[in-house]
Amino acid sequence: MHGIILIRQGHRRARPCFLTMIDLHCHILSALDDGPKVIEESVEMARVAVAKGIHALAASPHVLETQSATLNREQIEQALIQLRERLAAEGIALELLLGAEYYLSQDFPHLMEKHFPLASLGGSRYVLIEIPITYVPPYLEYSTLHSGIQNPELQKELPFLRPIIAHPERYLEVLRNLKVAERFRALGYLLQVNLGSLAGRYGRSVRKTAEKMIKAGWVDFVATDAHSASALAEVLDHGIKRLRKVAGEEGTRILIEENPSRVLQGLPLRSLQEDA
Ligand SMILES: [Fe+2]
């Protein structure tokens, strides 16, 4: 069952417009990061997701390098299986997929080696990463280089991995200068904008920056990045509405469903720039 949004066209009667979405960035797993504390909250997030039209969702907890234990793929998979069982028991038809949001605290290849095998999005070659909010790390320029990697399996995989930068519109240097986001793309990164940014959750300048990037055709897909059921409902209600105004119906469909689906299938993504 997909969520229904009513669209008014002039003074004609409202007609139903079906929303279907694949959310590739969502903190739905409990007790792993700053998302839900207990599994009941995860179930509530799944209920909201399905009611609003999300049919598949990649659980993407923060993976940070800390002095204590760092989350690994096995722990994410265990939590995923537990939640899948719970959703099946409750009759909630949401396809839950593997994922993670890797914090780029050192150079990217080093982090990947430490966390290999990676929790890529849905087991694809696409890997979601975030960088510090306040500055762009200098190592980003050579982050796609493969020097220093010891693990031969990772060495083989690295040239095929596609890193995606989460919510570029929230980074301070991008807010100061939009060309920084363009540079990310030139360096080979894909870009994922948050629906919450479009909903105004992080303020006007973040929203405007997200809109400019979408209009420029630099954004590969959008996601909720929700950490709770209430936030999920809010960003879907307000973010999608704004996205439709900025990207149009077809652009919205590409950003919320077609490209996320292509990520999961390991296919190249469509660019809104080509469609313009
Ligand atoms: Fe996130």
Q: How far is the CA of 101 from the centre of ligand 1 (A)?
A: 6
CB-based contacts of 45, cutoff 8 Å, min separation 6: 26, 28, 36, 226, 228, 229, 232
27 by Cβ neighbours in 10 Å (0-12 / 13-18 / 19+) ranks as: buried
- Per-residue pLDDT tens for 29-62? 999 999 999 999 999 999 999 999 999 999 999 9
Q: How far is the CA of 183 from the centre of ligand 1 (A)?
A: 22
The strand order across the sheet containing 62-63 reads: 62-63, 101-103, 126-130, 162-166, 190-194, 221-223
pLDDT at 6 over 50: no
Mean pLDDT of the chain: 89
- Per-residue pLDDT tens for 200-255? 999 999 999 999 999 999 999 999 999 999 999 999 999 999 999 999 999 999 99
pLDDT at 274 over 90: no
Q: How far is the CA of 171 from the centre of ligand 1 (A)?
A: 13
Q: Which domains does the chain have, with CATH numbers?
A: 3-275 (3.20.20.140)
Q: How far is the CA of 120 from the centre of ligand 1 (A)?
A: 14
Q: How far is the CA of 62 from the centre of ligand 1 (A)?
A: 7
pTM higher than 0.85, yes or no? yes
The torsion region of residue 122 among left (phi > 0), alpha (psi -120 to 50) and beta comes to left
Q: How far is the CA of 28 from the centre of ligand 1 (A)?
A: 10
Q: Which two tokens stand for residue 186?
A: 């030139």
Contact 224, 236 (CB under 8 A): yes
Q: How far is the CA of 152 from the centre of ligand 1 (A)?
A: 30
CB-based contacts of 64, cutoff 8 Å, min separation 6: 70, 71, 103, 105
